[in-house]
Amino acid sequence: MVKYSPSTLRTSKRSHLDISWEDWKRDAENAFNRLTCKAQKGQHGMVGFKLMYDQVPVQFIDKFLEWLQQQDITVVQLVREATILRIASQHHLSVAHTTNATLAARQKKRSQA
C-alpha cells in the first residue's frame, strides 16, 4: 500500500485524486490475500500489515470504514512514543521517561524534592 503514499504518488506526478476506489480496494484486498496465504501455510491465526494514515485517500474514508466492517478487519492504531515525548518536551524543559517502575519512582521523588 506504500504506492498510495503521497510522496510515492508524486514521483509519478500523481495524487490521491487520481486513484479510484476500485483500484485502491483491489490492491488492499490483494495485500491481505497474500498475507492470508502465507499465514495459512504457517498456521498463524491472524495477519496484518502497517497502513499509514496518508495511504488512504481522504475521499475514500467512508468507503474504507465500510470495507473494514465488511471484511471483519480489526484496526490497531499504534502511537509512537517518541512523538508524544517530543510534543511534551516542547511544553516542559525537562521530560524524563523510563519503562522501569523503580527508576520512575526515584525520578519522581527527585523532581518533588
Tens of pLDDT along 56-86? 899 999 999 999 889 888 887 766 666 667 6
Distance CA 67, CA 64 (A): 5
pTM of model > 0.85? no
Cell output for 52: 499509514
Distance CA 90, CA 65 (A): 34
Residue in this structure with the C-alpha cell 524534592, named with its chain if needed:
113
